[in-house]
Structure 1
Amino acid sequence: MQVGRLFEIVYILLNRKNITAKELSKQFEVSVRTIYRDIEVLCQAGIPIYTSKGKGGGIGLLNSFVLNKSVLTKEEQEEIITALQGLRATNYTSTNQILTKLTNLFGTDSLNWIEIDFTDWSDQKKEALQLLKAAVLERKVIEFDYYNSSGQKAKRRVEPLQLWFKNKNWYLKAFCHTKSGFRLFKLNRMKHICLTNETFLRVIEPDSLTYLHEQKSLNQVSFTLRVDPSQAYRIYDECDEEQISKEETGYFLVKYCYPAGEWIYDFILSYGNQAEVVEPEYIRTVIKNRLKGALDKYL
């Protein structure tokens, strides 16, 4: 207990100019006398701690002091801090405390280089990500209802191996007990996720996951839209520059390549009368029939 308390005291002093013995005793739930004994032990160990009396006084460290960190190079220290900042941006729990300790330990400034805001997500998705993270780290089997691209629901029992963010969507890489094989599950289609008490030992098999990635890439649909100039803001928000060309009329020709699914038609129709499918012909036909069907409901 004392060794752990001694390290905590040093971390506190690294983070604050000074602190009173009374504050420390309250934080560690020990007597003021015990705190002074700890300070004496630290001084004997060569930690340059000083005490000052009067208003604004207390216990402090010499400003020039940093803990020995020679095991890591300056570049390695910066990489660790940078990685933790990136992890903190995804709301990973306890990162702030770790980041503060290591910043003080390395005697470096913590430049906040990244921020990721998920405020447009529903609470349900945040909860699902937290639950899946726990399942992956704790190697716990999970169960959930899964809706395929046709809207059919099936119960799945899987060993979660890794969360994967790809093309604006979250996926779960897992070994599915139901299908007896590796599968990718789209997070948006996973409902009623339940963490079981059953654990597993399986690890990611690179060949299997490479196959999954290839399968995902094979199920792509390519199509071209002619889009009204009024939609320029949306085109440049959603597309890379190499996908876009401009006609003399001012209209945009935009080439898309997206995972296959019913959602593609909804995406095209979301442009209303501001876009037209140039190719392939079968997608033009599907859109034409859907528009006719929608019109029939109002006639």
Structure 2
Amino acid sequence: MQISRLFQIVHILLEKGRVTAPELAERFEVSARTIYRDAEVLSQAGVPIYTLQGKGGGISVSDQFVLNKSLLTDQEQNEILFSLQSLSAARLPDSDKVLLKLSSLFRKNSANWIEVDFSPWGSGQQQKELYALLKQAILEHKIISFAYLNAAGEQENRSAVPMKLLFKDRAWYVEAYSIEKEAPRTFKITRMSQVSLSDRDESELPRLPQQRMENAGTSHEESPAEAMPRIPLVLRIEPAGASRIVDEFKEEQIVKQEDGSFWIASEMPDGEWLFQYLLSYGELLEVIEPASIRQEMQRRIAEMFRNYLG
């Protein structure tokens, strides 16, 4: 913890020039005495830290200072830069500025040796701005208002206090405290629109549980797979679906047949999500069991066929 705090103190000093010990103490929730001890540790490590007493004084570091191996090893520097690349891939725009600054401080000519990109193909500036807005709301404990398309295809006006961004099962979610439900909820970001940041913050709410995020992942507006009752299924999938099979099912659930097709024995969440998922395989998939799911698939496919008649 101290190493992380030391690194952050240096970054703050390089960013702001001069900061008082009480300001740093409040920032890191420690005493001013601890901050002065940290400054002494940094000084002993070779970081040119200066303290100035009296009005207008504070703690500062030489503008010419460059973080070096006396504070962080070369491997640690690379790990920090890679972590920032991951944040940048998550479309947190401020991380690009920090990455550029630290690359310069570490004297790394090219830190971008790997790319991690969670964003969907074709995503534009509007979606990037949404992530920046959600980040601001989380850090400042602000209330957001938005339109939300629920799993039933109905659009609702909602308001919530975002707590955390979550990437799960190839999709981004925001864990938030729902004002309407007065409980934690998880919203799928692609189903959010018309998102706006309110001037109000969580302190203005009549009640907001202290442990509001403890069970935030258990109640979902989007209803991800793990939050719903599960149904045992037996599926037959044609050989052309092999690439999806290895991505989406466990090895022990897959049995390859002599004709090259695959039989899948798995459990999947009940509800509309299930049929949308099964239909995404098109003609490559056949539901063998249970009979109720097979019959519903037949009904839906027949309805789709009628849409193209005439």
Q: How does the TM-score come out when normalised to structure 1?
A: 0.66
- Give 1 or 2 for the bigger CA radius of gyration: 1
Residue of structure 2 in register with 1:265 after alignment: 275
Compute the displacement of 1:259 (Å): 4.5
Identity of aligned residues (%): 38
Residue of structure 2 in register with 1:120 after alignment: 121
Closer, same or farther in 2 for the Cα pair 1:181/1:77, shift >3 Å?
Answer: same
Q: Could you report, residue by residue, the CA deviation over 1:177-208 in whole angstroms, capped at 9, with x for unpaired residues?
A: 10111111122322221211111256764532
Structure 1 unaligned residues grouped into runs of 5+: 1-6, 9-44, 46-64
Residue of structure 1 in register with 2:214 after alignment: 207
> SS state of the match for residue 176, structure 2?
strand
The CA distance in 2 between the partners of 1:285 and 1:247, in whole Å, is 24
Residue of structure 2 in register with 1:95 after alignment: 95
Compute the displacement of 1:158 (Å): 0.6
What one-letter code is carried by the residue in structure 2 that aligns with 1:249?
Answer: D
Give the ranges of 4+ consecutive aligned residues of structure 1 lying more than 6 Å apart after TM superposition: none
What one-letter code is carried by the residue in structure 2 that aligns with 1:158?
Answer: A
Compute the displacement of 1:265 (Å): 1.5
Equivalence map 1:181-196=2 (5 Å): 181-196=183-198
More moved, 159-168 vs 233-242: 233-242
Compute the displacement of 1:270 (Å): 3.1
The CA distance in 2 between the partners of 1:98 and 1:218, in whole Å, is 37
Equivalence map 1:235-250=2 (5 Å): 235-250=245-260
Closer, same or farther in 2 for the Cα pair 1:249/1:71, shift >3 Å?
Answer: same
**CA RMSD of superposed structures (Å):** 3.2
Compute the displacement of 1:71 (Å): 3.6
> SS state of the match for residue 234, structure 2?
strand
Residue of structure 2 in register with 1:292 after alignment: 302
Residue of structure 1 in register with 2:163 after alignment: 161
Residue of structure 2 in register with 1:281 after alignment: 291
The CA distance in 1 between the partners of 2:184 and 2:287, in whole Å, is 36
Compute the displacement of 1:228 (Å): 1.2
The CA distance in 2 between the partners of 1:116 and 1:75, in whole Å, is 19
Q: How does the TM-score come out when normalised to structure 2?
A: 0.64
> SS state of the match for residue 207, structure 1?
coil
Contact 1:245 / 1:252 at 8 angstroms: preserved in 2?
yes
The CA distance in 2 between the partners of 1:191 and 1:183, in whole Å, is 17
Closer, same or farther in 2 for the Cα pair 1:82/1:276, shift >3 Å?
Answer: same
Contact 1:69 / 1:106 at 8 angstroms: preserved in 2?
no
Compute the displacement of 1:157 (Å): 1.2
Closer, same or farther in 2 for the Cα pair 1:240/1:126, shift >3 Å?
Answer: farther
